[in-house]
Chain A
Amino acid sequence: MSDTVPPKGPGPLMRREARLAWGLLLPTIVSVSLVVILPLLAVFWISFKPIGLADLRPPTPVVREDLRGRPAEAGDEATLRYRLRNSSQDQAIGNVRFTDTMPAGMTVVALDPRCTLDGTALTCNLGDWQGGARDEVEIAVTVGQEFFDTQADPEASAPEITGRAENVLTNVQFTGENFARIFDGGEFWTVLGATLFYTVFGTVGALILGLFAALLLNKSFKGQGFLRGLYLFPYVAPVIAVAFTWVLLLDPFSGSFNALLVQMGVVDSPINFFGQRPLALVMVTVFEIWRYFPLSFLFILARMQSIDSDMYEAAEMDGASPFQQFWALSVPQLLGILSVLFLLRFIWTFNKFDDIFLLTGGNAGTRTLTVNVYEQAFAVSNIGAGAAVAVVIFGCLLLFSYFFFRFMSQEEGL
């Protein structure tokens, strides 16, 4: 009798299950890698490239064709002229050549030495061009009767031109200048400081405000559902709508809030909330708190409603006062959700771009790292530097998520 041993490795059923799982996941994996992983790699690649916004259009040869000499009747002489130029002023194009179809009824008299004619097909090899190069090809022709009969238009057949231009995105030219540039001077540290201020205070503020709102609504009364819905409004509304409203409300010249402050005698003259340091940074942080307290509120409220009320009754019997109950019972119970929320919100506040971009455009000391990506890439038109900032952001993100996952595995066994 042979010994029975447990089977080694995955059995056929298990393999089938795994195959099915990967099959179900495949569309997600493919699409996510296309739109997330690939761009991430691209960001790393670009961050080492000397590339500006203008380089996105690679240099191309451009050709214009016209017929000179105004032939009036059969037998007249004319010149077919091609004017060519390099679209880029500083980059070379190699191996430029173009082909064109000769119009019907034209006989070539003299051909440019660089061109060959095969039937009606004209091919010209123009060699290598420097940046900003211009060239001209002239072909002397006589016009036959057929040209007038068919009313042929030499410009009807567009010449096809090709050239091998180096694309700075795909060549092997690398530079460390982008990183040198963004770390250069004190600017980077100002940006990092603004980012940290915004992230830390935005996150903590939203958590505290959310905690208070949750405490308010953690009892059932008429209108509780309505208030809960109302308090979620800032989060649900499109950021662009609420950001512009805030800008308008706090406008120094015609903003209602400033008018109110002046009228109530709190300030003498209107305050430029989004235009002066360091108030602008404080205000975008306040906006962030305002917009995201509903989220923490919702999570904390959900957690509060799942706390066993027996505990509070026991504490009440033992004579604990309301504040004591809050500190000794509620806070420890909520600590888990609060810390998870803190980590998650910290990461997402760090990543936030739209809000600051819409409120101040990154001016008046509110330029955070994410706004700096946009600023470098599009305002200064240096895509490479923008990508370098993006790489820095991604590095920070990896650091945060390391802490996050370490913490989450303790907290939720994820």
Chain B
Amino acid sequence: MKVLRFGYVTGPLIGALWTLVMAIVVCVILSFATGQALAPVAVSALAVGAWLGFALLPEGGRDRSRRILVTAGLVVVPLMAFVLVRPAIHGSAETGMGLLAIAWILLALSVVLPLRLMLRGLPYGPATRHETEAALIHFLTGFGYIFFTAIVVIPFYVMVMTSLKNQQDLLLNPLDFTVDLSQGADLFRSYTELFAKFNFGSYLWTSFYVSVLTVLITLLFAVPGAYAVARLRFRGRAAFSRSILLIYMVPMIVLALPIYIAFSMAGLRNSIFGIVMIYPVTTIPVALYMLQGYFRGLPSEVEEAGLMDGLSRLAVIWKITLPLSLPALASVSLYVFMIAWNEFLLAFMLLDDPSKFTLTRGVAMLNSSEIPRQHLMAGSVVATVPIMLLFLGLERFMTKGLTAGSVKG
């Protein structure tokens, strides 16, 4: 680490790494956007980045003319790399010159501007620990934003774009995600086919009402239970509270087997009734656990005042506790809705009749070699968009609900 405490070491290091990252980012973005070939060259990107890192170091008391001279002399290094290996970004024979120019402009902007900011506090010569680490942290922060945004955005981008393309185009060039806007409504052909031929409208509706029913039934069971665990004193309360947690750790696949057998024998397979019966029970322990945590946080004095004024316990729950815990109820409802909407295993095992599928089961049905893949992706988009919209609209509740004691996934 000691060697890093010199601006002229840290600066080029950060510059080199950052330029490599940005070269890859620019190439990936432009390739995904245009379908044309662009590739970063690691050695050249590192060389030009190191030089830029050196050039962008603050003056730090150096003689101005000497500094310019040294910097200009060192430009030989990236130039050699460009000539001997290849330029930091290069395209294939078919890549358009315009695209290449855009790539270079993007690279220049995305390297020079952030790099200036990162190296701002770094002296040319010996640096304190603070200054070195601040520069490194700036670099890591920038890298972190790019890394996390990329890993999250790319799969969803591919999902949406694939659903708009057709299979031949994709097999021809898997990188080409451009869509032909001139085809108008035809662009959404796979969606219209899903709803017309594959009955997805009905799946959407089934998923929706199954999820809503699950939420309602879960709350009906979990609210009184959570209240009892949080407020009332009885023998075995601690044991009960533990067994809730324990039960909510039992894997579904262990239970799915006997449930499958029981449902087969009772003729409940292939019925929405069976699904609505089983979903809430998988969510009640979670909901109970989340709600009792919230109820504990409510001031009990308000409830005691209600009791003193002659309300019964149940009336206290209904008139005082529930109105006070509306935000928690919203979080729990959202969370349970999400679990029910995304549930796959039980729907997959218990539903075989295409007229009764939920959305996730319907998407699983699309996973066959006879059905083109844009349909599969369109189905995925149809399953994802409603829950995403709900989530974005109510993100505040959702994040609260997720942290309120629910680590289930």
Q: Which residues of A contact B (CB under 8 A)?
A: 14, 17-18, 20-22, 24-25, 27-28, 31-32, 34-36, 38-40, 42-43, 46, 56, 169, 212-213, 215-216, 225, 227-242, 244-246, 248-249, 251, 253-256, 258-260, 263-265, 290-292, 295, 298-299, 302, 319, 321-323, 341, 344-345, 347-348, 350-354, 357-358, 370, 373-374, 377, 383, 386-387, 390, 393-394, 397, 400-401, 405, 414
Are B233 and A18 in contact (CB-based, < 8 A)? yes
List B residues 392-409 near A (Cβ within 8 Å): 392, 395, 398-399, 402-403, 407-409
Return B165 CB to nearest CB of chain A, in Å: 11
**A245 touches which of B39, B159, B254, B398 (Cβ 8 Å):** B159
User: Size class of B's contact patch?
Assistant: 35 or more
Are A28 and B225 in contact (CB-based, < 8 A)? yes
Are A239 and B225 in contact (CB-based, < 8 A)? no
**How far, in angstroms, from A68 to B129 measured CA to CA in the complex?**
103
Chain A residues positioned under 8 Å from B130 (CB to CB): 319, 321-322
B265 (CB) vs chain A CBs: closest residue: A56
**B255 touches which of A40, A228, A239, A319 (Cβ 8 Å):** A40
**How far, in angstroms, from A401 to B245 measured CA to CA in the complex?**
9
**A34 touches which of B257, B281, B402 (Cβ 8 Å):** B281
Chain A residues positioned under 8 Å from B50 (CB to CB): none
Are B391 and A229 in contact (CB-based, < 8 A)? yes
Chain A residues positioned under 8 Å from B31 (CB to CB): 260, 263
Chain A residues positioned under 8 Å from B257 (CB to CB): 39, 43, 46, 373, 377, 383, 386-387, 390
B207 (CB) vs chain A CBs: closest residue: A238
**How far, in angstroms, from A17 to B313 measured CA to CA in the complex?**
9
**B175 touches which of A256, A291, A414 (Cβ 8 Å):** A256
Are B233 and A36 in contact (CB-based, < 8 A)? no
List B residues 48-77 near A (Cβ within 8 Å): none
Return A171 CB to nearest CB of chain B, in Å: 15
Are B383 and A238 in contact (CB-based, < 8 A)? yes
**What are 9 inter-chain pairs, A to B, with CB distance below 8 A?**
A20-B232, A25-B240, A46-B258, A227-B149, A230-B149, A230-B152, A232-B391, A345-B407, A358-B344
Are B174 and A259 in contact (CB-based, < 8 A)? yes
Are B377 and A245 in contact (CB-based, < 8 A)? yes
Asked whether B109 is an interface residue with its Cβ less than 8 Å from the other chain, the reply is no
With most chain A CB atoms within 10 A of its CB, the pick from B141, B250, B377, B379 is B250
| Known contacts A240-B344, A401-B246: A32-B285 contact under CB 8 Å | yes
B313 (CB) vs chain A CBs: closest residue: A20
Chain B residues positioned under 8 Å from A344 (CB to CB): 407
B41 (CB) vs chain A CBs: closest residue: A265
Asked whether B190 is an interface residue with its Cβ less than 8 Å from the other chain, the reply is no
**How far, in angstroms, from A240 to B395 measured CA to CA in the complex?**
22
Are A256 and B281 in contact (CB-based, < 8 A)? no
**How far, in angstroms, from A118 to B152 measured CA to CA in the complex?**
77
Asked whether B107 is an interface residue with its Cβ less than 8 Å from the other chain, the reply is no
Are B360 and A240 in contact (CB-based, < 8 A)? yes
**How far, in angstroms, from A414 to B293 measured CA to CA in the complex?**
12
A16 (CB) vs chain B CBs: closest residue: B313
B237 (CB) vs chain A CBs: closest residue: A21
1/0 per position for B151-162, CB-CB distance to A under 8 A? 111111011001
Chain A residues positioned under 8 Å from B250 (CB to CB): 36, 40, 351, 394, 397
**How far, in angstroms, from A251 to B39 measured CA to CA in the complex?**
20
**A216 touches which of B148, B247, B377 (Cβ 8 Å):** B148
**B234 touches which of A17, A302, A370 (Cβ 8 Å):** A17
12 additional contacts, CB 8 Å, given A28-B284, A35-B281? A24-B228, A39-B257, A43-B258, A231-B152, A235-B409, A260-B28, A295-B402, A295-B409, A322-B133, A348-B408, A386-B257, A414-B242
| Known contacts A230-B153, A238-B387, A373-B254: A244-B363 contact under CB 8 Å | yes
Return A205 CB to nearest CB of chain B, in Å: 12
Return A94 CB to nearest CB of chain B, in Å: 20
Return A413 CB to nearest CB of chain B, in Å: 11
Chain B interface, >50% SS class: helix
Are B247 and A254 in contact (CB-based, < 8 A)? no
Pairs of residues from A and B, 4 with the lowest C-beta to C-beta distance, nearest first: A351-B251, A241-B380, A18-B234, A39-B258
Return A271 CB to nearest CB of chain B, in Å: 13
Chain B residues positioned under 8 Å from A25 (CB to CB): 224-225, 228-229, 240
**How far, in angstroms, from A383 to B381 measured CA to CA in the complex?**
35
Return A362 CB to nearest CB of chain B, in Å: 12
**How far, in angstroms, from A319 to B129 measured CA to CA in the complex?**
10
List B residues 266-300 near A (Cβ within 8 Å): 278, 280-282, 284-285, 288
B234 (CB) vs chain A CBs: closest residue: A18
| Known contacts A229-B392, A240-B380: A32-B265 contact under CB 8 Å | no
Asked whether B235 is an interface residue with its Cβ less than 8 Å from the other chain, the reply is yes
**How far, in angstroms, from A256 to B409 measured CA to CA in the complex?**
28
Return B378 CB to nearest CB of chain A, in Å: 11
Return B110 CB to nearest CB of chain A, in Å: 18
B129 (CB) vs chain A CBs: closest residue: A321
Chain B residues positioned under 8 Å from A260 (CB to CB): 28, 31, 175
Return A88 CB to nearest CB of chain B, in Å: 16
Are B235 and A32 in contact (CB-based, < 8 A)? no
Are A244 and B399 in contact (CB-based, < 8 A)? no
**How far, in angstroms, from A231 to B398 measured CA to CA in the complex?**
13
Are B151 and A290 in contact (CB-based, < 8 A)? yes
1/0 per position for B87-107, CB-CB distance to A under 8 A? 000001000000000000000
**How far, in angstroms, from A56 to B267 measured CA to CA in the complex?**
12
Chain A residues positioned under 8 Å from B154 (CB to CB): 249
Chain A residues positioned under 8 Å from B155 (CB to CB): 234, 242, 245-246, 249
Are B342 and A248 in contact (CB-based, < 8 A)? no
With most chain B CB atoms within 10 A of its CB, the pick from A236, A290, A348 is A236
**How far, in angstroms, from A265 to B40 measured CA to CA in the complex?**
9
